Amino acid sequence: MPYEPPTHTVERSLRATTGAKIIAGVDEVGRGAWAGPVTVCAAVTGLRRPPEGLTDSKLLSVKRRTVLAVELQKWVTSYALGHASPEEIDDLGMTAALRLAAVRALEALPVRPDAVILDGKHDYLGAPWQVRTVIKGDRSCVAVAAASVIAKVQRDKMMAELAVDHADFGFADNAGYPSPVHKAALAERGPTPYHRLSWAYLDALPQWRHLKKVRSCADGSVPEIEGQLGFDF
Q: Which residues define the annotated binding site?
A: 27-28, 119
The three-class DSSP label of residue 22 is: coil
CA-to-CA distance for 232 and 28, rounded, in angstroms?
A: 25
Which run of H or E residues covers position 40? Answer: strand 38-44
DSSP state of 177: S
* Residues in contact with 92: Cβ distance below 8 Å, sequence separation at least 6, in sequence order: 84, 100, 215
Q: What are the residue ranges of helices labelled H in the chain?
A: 9-18, 62-75, 86-92, 94-108, 137-140, 142-162, 171-174, 180-189
The three-class DSSP label of residue 41 is: strand
DSSP percent split of the chain into helix, strand, coil, nearest 5? 40, 15, 45
* Residues in contact with 161: Cβ distance below 8 Å, sequence separation at least 6, in sequence order: none
Residues tagged in the binding site annotation for a divalent metal cation: 27-28, 119
